[in-house]
Amino acid sequence: MKFGGTSVADIERIRNVGRHVKREVDAGHDVAVVVSAMAGKTNELVAWCREASPLHDAREYDAVVASGEQVTAGLLAVVLQNMGLNARSWLGWQLPILTSHAHGAARILDINGEEIVKRFGERKEVAVIAGFQGIHKETGRITTLGRGGSDTSAVAVAATIRADRCDIYTDVDGVYTTDPRVVPKARRLDKVAFEEMLELASLGAKVLQVRSVELGMVHKVKIFVRSSFEKPEDIDPHGTPPGTLICDEEDIVEQQVVTGIAFSKDEAQISIRRVQDKPGVAAAIFGPLAEANINVDMIVQNVSADGKTTDLTFTVPAGDYQRSMDVIGKAKETIGFERLDGAADVAKVSVIGIGMRSHAGVAAQAFKALADRNINIRAITTSEIKFSVLIDAAYTELAVRTLHGLYGLDKA
């Protein structure tokens, strides 16, 4: 079970978390809980580090910010004990959770779960584990996994102890076919394959940290996204609670062709016309953008028609549009192109579904449906389980609703 910062923001909420845990223990389960810091605490600690020095040492930063999870782990253990359960808190260095040396963005290398499994057996002891943190083996220094790292801690612990399931309690009750604020008919998905979730997550369905999904996919950990707002006493521990199970493709019996529609507004499109079609030209374009710290998303390059020049289109965050145009403009000599076009106000709409692998013509249906609505497609990219179209931002909602209906996602 994993609970985020909002769920442990004060003692009353930690007590509520305790009741969720007790319900599972009472139902006969062995439970490991991973907790984040109280909402706001990590920000406070980060702000202090910044105030202490803009260029703070990542090792000391990690020692400071990891203290937030230490507090909630200890407090939840106290709360559980007060409810009559055996419970013990575990910090990253205590299990230990060994990580890489990349302070502030460390990767989990190995977790020793023997002691907590032993205690499951000996005395049904709940393990309360501080999320987001680990220890570097050689230096003995505290490391942190980066923002949202507690999701990753939870899935990694679940993999180590061979948990039946990793329940992530969040402020949403699952993963939806699309944003319900745009399409009121959006439905919660009962099951999503890891690969689909990766595409949905990175496209803006901000439910889970991407790395935690990757980890789940590699170790085949069933991740269950569910609401932390449900009252613990209303939940039947033997029933099927509402939520979305993120699991292996093979565990999804009734596979739909399309699982969800993701979208991101606030994109800007830049098209470089008649670029020299020669080796090194991509580096000449994207090198200066990377140096300027501009994040390039979609890249489309057509096969050259004349064998000499081609058109190249890419997207950047809308806020970086003017700066990107300037960077490319300045590098015109080095790159060698004829004209620079752009649009500051475009959106990317993506259709995701593992079923696309075996179904032909899925994208073609979309192109026709959008054309019927007079929505102009500026660019298209496709992958095995996803395709994305770039359109004028004004048509975003219409396009999402159109595609949501087209692939039968409106149906209950």
Residues 18-47 that bind a second copy (CB under 8 A): 45
Nearest Cα residue to 168 out of 190, 153, 187: 153
Least distance (Å) between residue 253 CB and a second copy:
44
Binding of residue 98 to a second copy (CB under 8 A) = no
Least distance (Å) between residue 226 CB and a second copy:
24
Least distance (Å) between residue 68 CB and a second copy:
8
Residue number, 2 or 141, with CB nearest to a second copy? 141
Least distance (Å) between residue 72 CB and a second copy:
9
Nearest Cα residue to 111 out of 125, 123, 126, 129: 129
Q: Are strands 260-276 and 309-317 parallel, antiparallel or unpaired?
A: antiparallel
Q: What are phi and psi of 119, to 5 degrees?
A: -75, -25
Please answer whether residues 77 and 68 qualify as being in contact, where contact means their C-beta atoms are separated by less than 8 angstroms. no
Amino acid at position 284, single letter: A
Site string for a second copy, 54-93 (x = CB under 8 A): -xxx-xxx-xx-xxx-xx-xxx-xxx-xx-----xx-x-x
Residue 89: CB atoms within 10 A of its CB come to 23
Least distance (Å) between residue 8 CB and a second copy:
11
Residue number, 25 or 298, with CB nearest to a second copy? 25
Least distance (Å) between residue 105 CB and a second copy:
17
* DSSP at 186: -
d(CA 159, CA 162): 5
Residue number, 63 or 377, with CB nearest to a second copy? 63
Residue number, 72 or 310, with CB nearest to a second copy? 72
Report the alpha-carbon angle 166-144-287, nearest 5. Answer: 105
Distant-in-sequence, close-in-space partners of 362: CB < 8 Å, separation ≥ 6:
257, 258, 351, 353, 355, 356, 387, 407
How does DSSP assign 319-347, residue by residue? Answer: GGHHHHHHHHHHTHHHH--SEEEEEEEEE
- Tokens matching residue 328: 């490319």
How many residues contact a second copy, by CB under 8 A? 36
E strands, 244-296, in order: 244-247, 260-276
Residue number, 48 or 292, with CB nearest to a second copy? 48
Nearest Cα residue to 77 out of 127, 12, 133, 42: 127
Q: Beta partners for 261?
A: 351
Residues 328-357 that bind a second copy (CB under 8 A): none
Least distance (Å) between residue 128 CB and a second copy:
9
Q: Are strands 223-227 and 244-247 parallel, antiparallel or unpaired?
A: antiparallel
Residue number, 93 or 407, with CB nearest to a second copy? 93
Helix axes 67-82, 41-52, angle to 10 degrees: 150
Residue number, 89 or 177, with CB nearest to a second copy? 89
Residue number, 146 or 336, with CB nearest to a second copy? 146
Tell which one of 9, 19, 94, 297 touches a second copy (CB under 8 A).
Answer: 94
Least distance (Å) between residue 40 CB and a second copy:
13
Please answer whether residues 94 and 110 qualify as being in contact, where contact means their C-beta atoms are separated by less than 8 angstroms. no
Residue number, 71 or 117, with CB nearest to a second copy? 71
Tell which one of 84, 121, 140, 361 touches a second copy (CB under 8 A).
Answer: 140
Least distance (Å) between residue 51 CB and a second copy:
4
Least distance (Å) between residue 30 CB and a second copy:
20
Question: Among the residues of 146-280, which ranges form H helices?
Answer: 149-160, 194-202, 210-219
Q: Which residues bind a second copy (CB under 8 A)?
A: 11, 14-15, 45, 48-49, 51-53, 55-57, 59-61, 63-64, 66-68, 70-71, 73-75, 77-79, 81-82, 88-89, 91, 93-94, 140
